[in-house]
């Protein structure tokens, strides 16, 4: 997780690309806005809004991530037909109260 000057966060993968919202990029996807690793940005200042997330701190040490479409990032079961795994991540949740839009940040070495 990388905190930006505007208070939002960005997530950079080992590929050098950033996690971001991808609108209408999953063929026959059940939701419009999937979260994928695809955003290229050489500098922090170049990270586009769809690769930045606002953190909302929740009770129990959990957080919700709000995307630039105004929706929360959440687990989506069966939202990508033909995917190797049944669970995907999309920005489609209206409320951070939903359990599937609540995340736990765990530090790993």
Q: What tens digit of pLDDT does each residue of 75-99 get?
A: 999 999 889 999 999 999 999 999 9
Q: What tens digit of pLDDT does each residue of 58-76 get?
A: 999 999 999 999 999 999 9
Please tell me the predicted confidence (pLDDT) of residue 52. 97
Please tell me the predicted confidence (pLDDT) of residue 100. 96
Q: What is the C-alpha to C-alpha distance for residues 74 and 62, in angstroms, rounded to an integer?
A: 13
pTM of this prediction?
0.91
Assess contact for 49 and 68: CB atoms under 8 A: yes
Q: Which domains does the chain have, with CATH numbers?
A: 2-104 (2.80.10.50)
Q: What is the C-alpha to C-alpha distance for residues 90 and 105, in angstroms, rounded to an integer?
A: 18
Q: What tens digit of pLDDT does each residue of 19-45 get?
A: 999 999 998 999 999 999 999 998 888
């Amino acid at each position: 997780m990388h905190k930006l000057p505007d208070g939002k966060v960005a997530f950079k993968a080992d590929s050098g690309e950033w996690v971001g919202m991808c609108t209408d990029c999953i063929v026959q996807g059940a939701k419009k806005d999937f979260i994928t690793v695809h955003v290229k940005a050489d500098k922090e200042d170049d990270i586009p809004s769809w690769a930045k997330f606002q953190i909302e701190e929740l009770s129990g040490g959990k957080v919700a991530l709000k995307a630039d479409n105004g929706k929360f990032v959440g687990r989506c079961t069966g939202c990508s037909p033909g995917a190797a795994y049944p669970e995907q991540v999309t920005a489609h949740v209206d409320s951070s109260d939903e359990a599937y839009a609540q995340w736990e940040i765990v530090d790993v070495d």
